[in-house]
Amino acid sequence: MPLDNVVFWVFAPISVASAIGMLLMRNAVHAALFLVVNLFTIAVMFLLLDAPFLFAVQIIVYAGAIMVLFLFVIMLLGVDRGDPTNEPLVGQRSIAVILAVGFVLEVTFALRAGIGFATKAPPGFDRVNLGGNTQALAKVLFRDYFFPFEVTSVLLIVAAVAAMVLAQRRAKAITQAEIEAHRDDFAHIRDAPAGGLEGGPHLDPEALR
Amino acid sequence: MVGAFETSGAVADPTQAMRLLWLVPVLPLAGAAINLFIGRRLGKAAGWLATVLVGTAFVIAAIAVRDLIAVPAEARVYVLHLFDWIQVGAFRVNVDLRLDALSATMILVVTGIGALIHLYAIGYMDGDPRFGRFFAYLNLFVFFMLMLVLGNNLLVLYLGWEGVGLCSYLLIGFWFEKTENANAAKKAFVTTRVGDTAMLVGLALIVAKFGTLDYDVIFGSAGSTLTKGVATAIALLLFAGAVGKSAQVPLHVWLPDAMAGPTPVSALIHAATMVTAGVYLVVRMHPIFELSGIALVVVAVTGLVTSIYAGTCALGQDDIKRVLAYSTISQLGFMFLAAGLRAYAAAMFFLVAHAFYKALLFLGAGSVMHGTHETTDLKLMGGLWRRMPITATTFVIGAFALAGVPPLAGFFAKDVVLEIAETGEHWVAYVLGTFAALLSALYIGRVVFLAFFGAPRSERAEQAHEAPPVMWVPLAVLAFGAAFGGIVSTDADGRLAQLLESVVGGVPEAIGGLTTPLFFVIALGMTALGLGTAWFVYGSGRVDWLALRVRLAPLQRLFANGWYIDEYYATVLVAPGKAAAAFTAYRFDVGFVDGIVNGIGGVVRRLADVGRRLQTGFVRSYAAAFFVGVVAVLVYVGFRL
Amino acid sequence: MRTPIAYFLVLSGVLFAIGSVGVLIRKNALLIFMSVELQLNAVNLALIAFSRMHADLTGQVLAFFSMVVAAAEVVVGLAIIVSVYRRRQTVNVDDARELRW
């Protein structure tokens, strides 16, 4: 059996399982760790698809930086304990599952109609990866997509500044209890009776003698 | 705009007075406008202004008529074009004034008697808070009446027709603070409206057939354009309008109640002028009536029935003005009888004579009321002859004219009509007409003897006083006219008949049957019988008429209540009408229409109530909706591929 | 390589669906955010797969940029969540439902 098949069929189930695991965990930290596993498996998929540079970047940036950042915030805010198990919205879970299943089915059918399940990747990727994937990628990036590259740099700076501004300590905290207390401040408008104005012009039967 | 005057018709060389014919209606109109705006500041001068304007109109009219008579008979028509009014495609209506023998007669009556009544009203309405407005309305009425009779086409006539109806409403309900006066005004307007609507349909029919409303065109081509059926339809529709305006059965119910208005109003509008508009209409449109023979029969029968009916009702009334009101209805019936027998000149002569003596009688009644502190009940009068001699004398003259005492005008008027009834071999009409004449002598004799003779039956009658000169001068003038008007016509060859021949053709000649002296005797006999009986029962003191009245109570009540026609209308017409109105106002409008409107609002509200639940506030719900949309779009794209 | 490209794309679809379910079901804002990251990764996988299929590096470049932007987005998003937590003492998205009927 070819190697890439084996790798694929090993890591794909792990990927799905870890995603579902992230979905089901009550504890936020556990969920984050499952997501890390998932990111790893995706990185392996990248490798299978002849993108070694991105395999590395995925692990470094996503699994290494972004998820660590997530874990930091979870720990900082202390919200690692339970998501309540009840579902206040009626039918939300059913809709979510139905839609997800429907989406997967759609994708499958679209693929079958489009490229078909038998299509293998064309062999000539070496030609594209001339001089190695990193060098080829660098060529494309700094030549054809130079402007987006610069714009993205600016974007990163903006994001950093924004984060600093947003995270400043400013407003006084308000508790959920206070929010609940003011919930009915506009009840007289919200709960106005359905009848509308009082009647119409009042006609007096006596006046029509 | 009163600018370039075009004249047509047969008068070759119109005189200055004829060219100033437009002043005749315009002067009263100006008076109405002036009094309407500054009447209050003028005070008593408002009344004098109104009177002088109508008087001047009379003078101009008189000169114009004199000039008209000077023209040979074949050419006695003068049309004065004032301005173009309506021009829609081929349909044109101009405001033109037509001076011919018929309209000449009418304008003299309207302005002449109108002026006298204006003079009388200055005294009668003295002290009334709305003095100026009264004269504005009176002048406005004279204007509309003149337009009615002077119009050269049916639309100007209709304009005047509606206008006098409006003024009648305004004047009957002049003292509108009392509800019954306002109700009487409403009743008059609504009842005449029934007739007016039929008349409007008739006008529409005429337009449909002739394409125009001009007299000359209609009369010129009536024979060739109309079939007998259509002519009958038109004639009957127009006659319906006349029935309403002239208070004939069955649209007569408004006139007795209209006595709620001031007495000058009753005299002018409900005796001399407005109610005669119906007679004028029939005489004016007689070519169409003659094309359809049956319409004339309807006119005559209506007139006859009304005449007798109203005569009986007049016998049963205790209110002096109501007697005169029913008397007017009865006398108008007589005029319609004459018209129905094709004796148009006789009908017109009767109209003129009646205008004089009925106005006189009404003004006299007003004088009586004025002098006895507003008493109208005959039972409470008596012996007024000594206390108000001028009023009494003029009233008696008028009464004799009505009863048909020769040589007063009334006698000749009645005589001519009856004669013509006989000559056409309409024996039934003759007999019934004679009976009606007897009734008229009876009821007016009753009034005279109860009011003026005998001993006073109440304190007010004892302390009665005579009217001021501004009131009895018109009485005297009218009495003069009533007495000596007979010289205008004595028989078929009379002056008025000759004058009107240019318009209405010749009067049927007497043929065979009873000779003229016999008519004379029969008519005189009826008058004497009526007056004599009245004197015997009411004046001589030999009969206890109060006991008689009690004994004949059911009959008296029947007459007094107008044979209960008002009550009949109330049940059959008014009550269902009010029920329908109440239904429409309360059940339909409030329930159904408002229900729909409110219902739509309610539906919107309920939809909104349901719809707003979409705004749950939960981000996740919105996310779910979002995702549903994504999936749906993908399905759509997938299927397209 | 023997694995048909379609398999990668199906995997991508499945991961995306799971991420969507996570967005809809979870109430903790941070967990929702993590589900969004999962979705983004699924899309990256699809991009790389297509890039391999068409032998064009554009897909890889796009995935690269996607990662960068995702990083920036996470930074700002987490800053917002921290800010909201400081005000409301909660990260439960269901607690922010005042804007309702």
How far apart CA A145 and CA B105 sit, in angstroms, is 110
In a domain, A207, yes or no: no
Say if residues A85 and C94 touch (Cβ distance below 8 Å).
Answer: no
Percent of chain B exceeding pLDDT 70 equals: 91
Q: Kindly determine whether residue C3 and residue A8, on different chains, have CB atoms separated by under 8 Å.
A: yes
Residue A206: what pLDDT? 54
How far apart CA B508 and CA B344 sit, in angstroms, is 10
Residue A89: what pLDDT? 80
User: Looking at the 3D structure of chain B, how many domains does it have?
Assistant: 2
Phi, psi of B75 (to 5 degrees): -110, 25
pLDDT digits (tens, 9 = 90+) for B101-136: 888 889 999 999 999 999 999 988 888 888 999 999
Reported as a pLDDT band with limits 50, 70 and 90, residue B11 is low
Q: Kindly determine whether residue A114 and residue B641, on different chains, have CB atoms separated by under 8 Å.
A: yes
Reported as a pLDDT band with limits 50, 70 and 90, residue B495 is low
Residue B418: what pLDDT? 72
Q: Locate the chain B residue with the closest alpha carbon to C100.
A: B617
In a domain, B104, yes or no: yes
pLDDT digits (tens, 9 = 90+) for B328-337: 999 999 899 8
Q: For residue A63, give its domain range.
A: 1-82
Residue B382: what pLDDT? 81
Q: Report the complex ipTM.
A: 0.92
Q: Is residue A143 less than 8 Å (CB to CB) from chain C? A: no
In a domain, B95, yes or no: yes
Say if residues B360 and B371 touch (Cβ distance below 8 Å).
Answer: no
Q: Kindly determine whether residue B631 and residue A113, on different chains, have CB atoms separated by under 8 Å.
A: no
Q: Kindly determine whether residue C93 and residue B612, on different chains, have CB atoms separated by under 8 Å.
A: no
3-class secondary structure for B46-64? HHHHHHHHHHHHHHHHHHH
User: Looking at the 3D structure of chain A, how many domains does it have?
Assistant: 1
Quote the minimal CA–CA distance from A208 to chain C in Å. Answer: 46
Q: Kindly determine whether residue A22 and residue C35, on different chains, have CB atoms separated by under 8 Å.
A: yes
Q: Locate the chain C residue with the closest alpha carbon to B618.
A: C97
Which residue has better confidence, B427 or A32?
A32
At residue B52, does pLDDT exceed 70? yes
Residues 580-619 on B with a CB inside 8 Å of A are 581-582, 585-586, 590, 594, 598, 601-602, 605-606, 609, 616, 618
Residue C66: what pLDDT? 95
In a domain, B582, yes or no: yes
Residue B511: what pLDDT? 39
For the segment A166-177, the average pLDDT, to the nearest whole number, is 74
pLDDT digits (tens, 9 = 90+) for A133-149: 888 899 899 999 999 99
Cβ count near B345 (within 10 Å) = 29
For the segment A33-49, the average pLDDT, to the nearest whole number, is 95
For the segment B175-191, the average pLDDT, to the nearest whole number, is 91
How far apart CA C46 and CA C13 sit, in angstroms, is 8
**Domain end point (choices B110, B137, B152):** B152
Cβ count near A136 (within 10 Å) = 17
**CATH number for A46:** 1.20.120.1200
Residues 383-422 on B with a CB inside 8 Å of A are none
User: Which class does domain C5-89 fall in?
Assistant: mainly alpha
Reported as a pLDDT band with limits 50, 70 and 90, residue B4 is very low
Which residue has better confidence, B349 or A119?
B349
Q: Is residue A33 less than 8 Å (CB to CB) from chain C? A: no
Tens digit of pLDDT per residue, chain C (101 long)?
A: 578 888 999 999 999 999 999 999 998 999 999 999 999 999 999 999 999 888 889 999 999 999 999 999 999 999 999 988 888 888 888 888 888 87
Q: Which of A202, A203, A206, A209 to substitute to test the interface with B, most B CBs within 10 Å?
A: A203
Could you tell me which chains touch chain A, where touching means 3 or more CB pairs under 8 A? B, C
Residue A180: what pLDDT? 83
Entry pTM: 0.69
Who among C25, C27, C98 is closest to B617 (CB)? Answer: C98
Contacts of C91 in chain B (CB under 8 A): none
Say if residues B527 and B403 touch (Cβ distance below 8 Å).
Answer: yes
Residues 6+ apart with CB under 8 A from B625: none
Residue B127: what pLDDT? 85
Q: Which two tokens stand for residue C81?
A: 């969540």
pLDDT digits (tens, 9 = 90+) for A71-90: 999 998 887 666 677 777 87
Residue B10: what pLDDT? 64
Who among C69, C79, C88 is closest to A166 (CB)? Answer: C79
Residue A129: what pLDDT? 72
At residue B424, does pLDDT exceed 70? no
Who among A48, A65, A111 is closest to C71 (CB)? Answer: A65
How far apart CA B109 and CA B170 sit, in angstroms, is 22
**Average pLDDT value over all residues in chain B:** 84
Q: For residue B14, give its domain range.
A: 1-152
How far apart CA B279 and CA B348 sit, in angstroms, is 8
- The alpha-carbon radius of gyration of chain B (Å, integer) is 30
In a domain, A35, yes or no: yes
Residue B496: what pLDDT? 65
In a domain, B496, yes or no: no
Buried b / exposed e across C60-95, counting CB within 10 Å, b at 16+? bbbbbbebbebbbbbbbbbbbbbbbbbebebbebeb
| Nearest residue to B113 (alpha-carbon basis) of B251, B275, B247, B222 | B275
How far apart CA A71 and CA B79 sit, in angstroms, is 111
Say if residues B484 and B491 touch (Cβ distance below 8 Å).
Answer: no
| Nearest residue to B46 (alpha-carbon basis) of B124, B136, B110 | B136
Quote the minimal CA–CA distance from B631 to chain A in Å. Answer: 6
In a domain, B411, yes or no: no
Q: Is residue A205 less than 8 Å (CB to CB) from chain B? A: yes
In a domain, B573, yes or no: yes
At residue B494, does pLDDT exceed 70? no
How far apart CA B111 and CA B57 sit, in angstroms, is 7
